[in-house]
Amino acid sequence: MIVENNLFDSQMYKEVIKQYEGVADLINLDPNIRERLKLPQRSLVVTFPFRRDEYDEVETVVGYRVQHVLSMGPTKGGIRYSPDVNLGEVTALAILMSWKSAIVGLPYGGAKGGVAIDPNPLTRAEKQRVTRRYTAELIPIIGVNKDIPAPDLGTDEQTMAWIMDTYSNFVGYATPGIVTGKPASIGGSVTRKESTGRGAVAVGVAAMEKIGKTIKNSKVVVQGFGNVGRYAAMAAYEQGAKVIAVNDVDGSIINEKGINIPELFKYTSNNVSVNGFPGAEKLNESILEIDCDVLIPAAVGGVITSSNASKIKAKVLIEGANSPTTLNADKILRENGVLIIPDILANAGGITASYFEWVQNTQNYLWKEAELYEKLIDVMLTAFEEIWTISEKQNCDLRTAALIKGIKRVAAAKLTRGLFP
Ligand code: GLU
């Protein structure tokens, strides 16, 4: 029987399923597996209260953790704090994590979690209480060999440290492997924070080479200056690109001659916005639509839609964020000749670095920074070459090719294990 329900309904879920079904048709996916993979195996919805700094003020919020496929090892994926978080969105993102992890060959199924809250107005103490209580609610389903959270939108290294501490207090011993993306002082990998942005630029450069372009001297625009955007900007800058515009939630800046990214790093340390940086001017138009060679959306999802896709002038789009482009927009961009490096490939450096961190934690290894980068780039470029070959053989775009690779691997694991009981 085909499961029909609207439990996981959301715009993003619909898009992810539509995308999946197109590829399932293309590869003639086993019909039983096809239905199974549309739904997550486990979803936990929790509601919990936390205290505001004003002691008598208590707020109740909703949290989620969704595990898509449990057949290939523990599940893995980030935790986001955002007012838009809902079960459908978290499920869609968990499904994308399954494909992402499979295309870089990691022994994980996809997961995602989130709390429907805007983290920006919260004080540090409030954020800590939200995180600790949310973690306590997740205890039955997370674990070093069960499900390993990581940072995502609105969460960071410190959030991971609180999760690790809360979990460790529950089990009675220090458990670094319960999360990845934590600070180095408690077992975090020094390269994790930079890996998503740097990995995205590495595959972007490889893709540009295939079409006879180089990153050097090309004009790059980065939307978002968080964990992904800032290191993507830095990697592009280091390779001789002119990063002409960047932005964050407070505003956008532009300098046609190229922004000095190391200086911008200094300026934005201590959580200061890029707004007001003396080495650039304020940009008032949409950052996505300015004239450039490479556009890297590295903030929230759904920013490139059918209403702005035709105004995008970049020739190469590197999707640092998860799901920045809607399906309709993707079609418009491809018709306009834009080369798209899809999110599940472009931002897979994050989960790949997370994997290294988790292996170090569980096996008590210690790799040097240079070794970690070498391994990261090797994994990313191998996946890229395989996906490029698929796209040539099947005469399809890179997103379809990446999905073919990811879905086939997950389906093969499920078919090989067989059905219980
Ligand atoms: N949140 C990141 C992503 O969407 C990383 C997940 C991880 O490292 O487990 O890929």
Residue type at position 249: V
Instruction: In the chain, list all ranges with CATH 3.40.50.10860.
Output: 11-172
Compute, in angstroms, the gap from residue 129 CA to the centroid of ligand 1: 23
Predicted local confidence at residue 4, as pLDDT: 62
Pocket residues: Cβ below 6 A from ligand 1: 76-78, 150, 152, 180-181, 322, 347, 350-351, 354
Sequence ranges of the chain with CATH classification 3.40.50.720: 194-346
Which CATH number is correct for 194-346, 2.40.10.220, 3.40.1210.10, 3.30.465.10, 3.40.50.720? 3.40.50.720
What pLDDT, on a 0 to 100 scale, did the predictor assign at position 366? 87
Q: What is the pLDDT of residue 1?
A: 45
Query: At a CB cut-off of 8 Å and minimum separation 6, what does 43 contact?
Result: 8, 64, 65, 66, 67, 87, 90, 91
The pick from 152, 192, 343, 355 for probing ligand 1's pocket by mutation, whose C-beta has the most ligand atoms within 8 angstroms, reads 152
> How many alpha carbons fall within 13 Å on the CB side of residue 46?
22
112 catalytic per annotation? yes
Q: Ligand 1 centre and the CA of 111: distance in Å?
A: 9
Catalytic residue among 38, 76, 100, 112: 112
Q: How far is the CA of 418 from the centre of ligand 1 (A)?
A: 28
**Confidence (pTM):** 0.96
Residue 47 to residue 45: CA distance in whole angstroms: 7
Question: Which residue is closest in CA terms to ligand 1's atom 9?
Answer: 77
Question: Running along the chain, 421 residues long, what does each successive block of 10 average in pLDDT?
Answer: 72 95 97 95 98 97 98 97 96 98 98 97 98 98 98 96 98 98 96 96 98 97 96 98 96 97 95 93 96 97 97 98 97 98 98 98 92 97 98 98 98 95 94
Cis peptide before 421 (omega within 30 of 0): yes
Task: Give nearest CA residue, ligand 1 atom 8.
Answer: 351
CA-93 nearest atom, ligand 1: 4
- Decide if domain 11-172 falls under CATH 3.40.50.10860: yes
Q: What is the pLDDT of residue 3?
A: 55
Ligand 1 pocket test, candidate residues 354, 360, 372, most atoms within 8 A of CB: 354
Query: Of the candidates 107, 83, 143, which has an alpha carbon nearest to the alpha carbon of residue 410?
Result: 107
Question: Closest Cα partner for 164 from 190, 144, 141?
Answer: 144
- What is the whole-number distance in angstroms between the Cα of residue 78 and the centre of ligand 1? 5
| Measured distance between the N- and C-terminal CA atoms of the chain, rounded to whole angstroms | 17
Nearest atom of ligand 1 to the alpha carbon of 354? 8
Ligand 1 geometric centre to CA of 86 (Å):
18
Q: Which of 79, 194, 345, 351 to mutate for ligand 1's pocket (most ligand atoms within 8 Å of CB)?
A: 351
